Amino acid sequence: MSEAIIHTLPASEGRPRVTYRHAGDRFLLLEYGDMVLDLTTNFRVFGLNEALTRAAIDGVIETVPALRSMLIHYDGRRVTPRRLVDTLVVLERGLPAVGDLVIPSRRVTLPIAFVDRWTRADIERYVKFVRKDAPNVIDGHNAEYIARYNGLRDVEEMIDTVCRTGWWNACIGFWPGLPFMFPLDPRYAIVVPKYNPTRPWTPEGGVGIGGPCVAVYPVPSPGGYQLFGRTVPVYDLEQRNPAFSDNPILLRPGDRITWTRVTEDELEMRRAALAAGEAAYDIADDSFDVREYLRFLDDVRAEAEALRRRQEAAQRTVPVP
Amino acid sequence: MALEVLEGGVQTTVQEVPGRVGYLDLGIYPAGPMDHFAFRAANLVAGNPAGTAALEVTAGGFRARFREPRVVAVAGADMSPTLNGEPIPAWEGVAVKAGDVLALRVPEHGGFRAYVAVRGGIDVPQYLGSRATFTVGGFGGFGGRALKKGDLVALGPAGRDATRHRFDPERRPAYGESWEIAAVRGPQADPDYLTADDMAFFFSHHWKIDRNSNRMGVRLESHEWRWARTSGGVAGGHPSNILDNGYPVWGVNVCGNQPIILTADGPTLGGFICAATLVEASTWMVGQLVPGRDTVRFREVSVEEAVRLAEALDRELTAAVQRVEGTR
């Protein structure tokens, strides 16, 4: 009767194909290119998001940037999807090539206690009550498994790997305030399969990785990511710290996160000070120059290949959960 | 100026229309009532603006005592409302005195949620601009949770007007066991995710409502889809997998083989396709689906038709409100 796809804008120099899809009478989904995981596509999503915000189109209520797509919430009584798509196509054509984008992007530094006692407690409960022979639990934690699956020498090298790259927060969602973060430096791009079955418990602030994506659990909840540490709160309903003055959510899509290693005791003190409003989160406004980043990617390509070879070799012998 | 909860029931929450709009990119679904039609009807006959904060009672079992005189209205599923044990009409404003006890029973004749609107509204603080309870995040409404015995729920100022209204009996929706719910195809349907046959099945089958359904999602029965592709590629092994994207509110997610209607408190983002999306004029029906009993068939509409349906439903709602003479 009608079609899901409203319009397709073919790829051209410096621009991936754009597919515009119906998502009911109040939403429209825009997708870039093919189903490939490529941060440059996500940068373009942010470029378009900026342009859309500036254009202040009548009838557009909000946008939801994601990896290679953007969901647009509109008022169907004020704008038709056809007219909205026409406007989006004009914006798309006016958008600079992805290499020319400079995106607003905050720098956020978060303390992390690796292989901490809180994540360990929930992992041990998992082994006790859910799966005794889980291959992703070694010495009562997931850290050693993450190291082995990526062909890294030990947990120390895994920790070093996580700390050496910045993490790009591509989008927020599923759960309120849950970030989807990807490594900006391919030399440290670890991957790991998820739990099977999922873990019923995760501590608030638990940090884990599933596939290439790192997440922080905003509240105690079930989860499927392999845990490697715990950080400070990223969600505070009581909005006690000024970082939560607008809403209870710390991180924003487009943030760059860097991890700093601390001890369990230091983390506990830090958490208490932040909750009491006596310490500030380490957040700085900044922008992200895509051209500079693409140049950096070229420079490190050969080194990144070395990690990939180690991973391939390791994955031939390390079991999947 | 309060309502004293004597029994919370299965799940009774404070809701508001339109809910918490504008926070999808931070992971917050809008919340609000599962049935926006009965919710608005209850408010209108209670003498409130349609979106005023009111109670959503899921599957009955709710009892509360009024601590002051008010006009109250119950609409939605037939929960045989009583005042001090005496039956009172639903879909109609009823005057209550201080000390009166309102009770709602488990619905026996279809429908799953009823709305209790009190003139002046429920007075809870706004959180991120709304009084709607978001059960997943644990905020909004009454302390971010469902009501329980002993809660004292504050009421807003009622004003002096004691006019009562009722909802035209001819225009009250019937809650049967089989439903027809309007939906728009997509975002991820045929030809690239599912086959045309899959979509023809989707729009013709009478889907059973799974018992495991709530304000986050209403599960339908599993189905062996044909799929237009063999795997989800980089996003995962199953063809229902995609790289995480924003989920439209009231989208019909297909998670592996199982379709799930993403409802008021659903996830904002995820890695499964949405084959279709319910339209504004039809989502209210989802709030009345009886888990484990009812079936739903999705009727395909265009966006243009959906917008006309929504406008017609709004007119219908306003036209159905009649003034009741005399006091009760």
Residue A35 covered by a domain:
yes
Residue A58 covered by a domain:
yes
Residue A159 covered by a domain:
yes
User: Where do the DSSP E strands lie in B215-268?
Assistant: 217-219, 241-246, 251-255, 258-262
Chain A positions in Cβ-Cβ contact with residue B128 (cut-off 8 Å): 247
With an 8 Å Cβ cutoff, are B267 and A174 in contact?
Answer: yes
Residue B54's beta-bridge partner residues? B15
Check: CB of residue B201 under 8 Å from CB of residue B298: no
Note whether A21 and A85 are same-domain residues: yes
Domains of chain B, CATH where assigned: 2-167 (no CATH), 178-314 (2.40.100.10)
**What tens digit of pLDDT does each residue of A271-294 get?**
999 999 999 999 999 999 999 999
Q: What single-letter DSSP state applies at residue B101? A: E
Note whether A117 and A30 are same-domain residues: no
Residue A119 covered by a domain:
yes
Sign of CA dihedral B125, B131, B136, B142: positive
Note whether A162 and A27 are same-domain residues: no
With an 8 Å Cβ cutoff, are A31 and B245 in contact?
Answer: yes
Look at residue B159 in the predicted model and tell me its pLDDT. Answer: 81
Note whether A53 and A154 are same-domain residues: no
User: Can you spell out the DSSP letters for B128-187?
Assistant: TTB---BTTTTBSTTTTS---TT-EEEB----S---EEEE-GGGSPP--SEEEEEEEE-S
Domain containing residue A237: CATH number: 2.40.100.10
User: Could you say which residues from 7 to 46 on chain A have a Cβ atom under 8 Å away from some Cβ of chain B?
Assistant: 21-27, 29, 31, 35-37
Q: Interior CA angle at A89 toward A87 and A93, to 5°? A: 120
A245 touches chain B (CB under 8 A): no
Cα(A194)–Cα(A73) distance, rounded to whole angstroms? 32
Residue A321 covered by a domain:
no
- Please give the residue of chain B at the shortest CA–CA distance from A237: B139
Note whether A31 and A176 are same-domain residues: no
Using a 10 angstrom Cβ sphere, with 0-12 exposed, 13-18 middle and 19 or more buried, the burial of residue B216 is: middle
**What tens digit of pLDDT does each residue of A69-122 get?**
999 999 999 999 999 999 999 999 999 988 999 999 999 999 999 999 999 999
Residue among B24, B128, B184 minimizing CB distance to A25:
B184
Q: Phi and psi at residue B216, in whole multiples of 5°?
A: -85, -35
Cα(A35)–Cα(B277) distance, rounded to whole angstroms? 22
- Report residue B210's pLDDT band, with 50, 70 and 90 as the boundaries: very high
Cα(A4)–Cα(A6) distance, rounded to whole angstroms? 6
Chain A positions in Cβ-Cβ contact with residue B268 (cut-off 8 Å): 64, 173-174
Q: What single-letter DSSP state applies at residue A219? A: S
Nearest to B164 by CA among B285, B321, B28, B3: B321
**What tens digit of pLDDT does each residue of A207-235 get?**
999 989 999 999 999 899 999 999 999 99
- Tokens 């342009």 identify what position? A51
Note whether A228 and A306 are same-domain residues: yes
Residue A320 covered by a domain:
no
Q: Return the H-helix or E-strand segment holding A112.
A: strand A107-114
Note whether A225 and A252 are same-domain residues: yes
Residue A102 covered by a domain:
no
Whether complex ipTM tops 0.85: yes
**What tens digit of pLDDT does each residue of B31-42 get?**
999 999 999 999
Q: How many helices (H) and strands (E) does chain B have?
A: 3, 21
Note whether A149 and A248 are same-domain residues: yes
Check: CB of residue B184 under 8 Å from CB of residue B42: no
**CA separation (Å) from B199 to B117, B180, B226, B230, B300?**
40, 16, 10, 17, 10
Note whether A182 and A269 are same-domain residues: yes
Chain B positions in Cβ-Cβ contact with residue A23 (cut-off 8 Å): 184, 186-187, 248, 251, 274, 277
**What tens digit of pLDDT does each residue of A170-214 get?**
999 989 999 999 999 999 999 999 898 989 999 999 999 998 999
Of A97, A131, A163, the one marking the end of a domain is: A97
Residue A150 covered by a domain:
yes
The mean pLDDT of chain A is: 95
Look at residue B174 in the predicted model and tell me its pLDDT. Answer: 94
Report the domain count for chain A: 2
Note whether A83 and A120 are same-domain residues: no
User: Could you say which residues from 211 to 240 on chain A have a Cβ atom under 8 Å away from some Cβ of chain B?
Assistant: 219, 237
Note whether A195 and A267 are same-domain residues: yes
With an 8 Å Cβ cutoff, are B243 and A175 in contact?
Answer: no
Mutate: best of A1, A25, A49, A171, partner B, most B CBs <10 A: A25
Residue among A3, A27, A176 minimizing CB distance to B248:
A27
Residue among A25, A63, A66 minimizing CB distance to B303:
A25
Give me the count of residues in chain B: 328
Cα(A242)–Cα(A246) distance, rounded to whole angstroms? 9
Of A42, A67, A97, the one marking the end of a domain is: A97
Domain containing residue A42: CATH number: 3.30.1360.40
Task: Find the domain containing A133 and state its range.
Answer: 107-315
Nearest to A29 by CA among B3, B180, B38, B245: B245
Mutate: best of B190, B244, B249, B261, partner A, most A CBs <10 A: B244
Check: CB of residue B236 under 8 Å from CB of residue B4: no
CB pairs under 8 A between A and B: 177
Structure tokens at B26: 């931070």
User: Could you say which residues from 234 to 273 on chain B have a Cβ atom under 8 Å away from some Cβ of chain A?
Assistant: 234-235, 242-251, 267-270
- Please give the residue of chain A at the shortest CA–CA distance from B308: A77
Question: What interhelical angle do A81-94 and A39-55 show, nearest 10?
Answer: 110
Cα(A40)–Cα(A53) distance, rounded to whole angstroms? 20
With an 8 Å Cβ cutoff, are B185 and A29 in contact?
Answer: no
Low-confidence winner among B6-20, B172-186, B222-236, B271-285 (lowest mean pLDDT): B222-236
- Tokens 């807003």 identify what position? B156
Of A56, A76, A97, the one marking the end of a domain is: A97
Note whether A294 and A153 are same-domain residues: yes
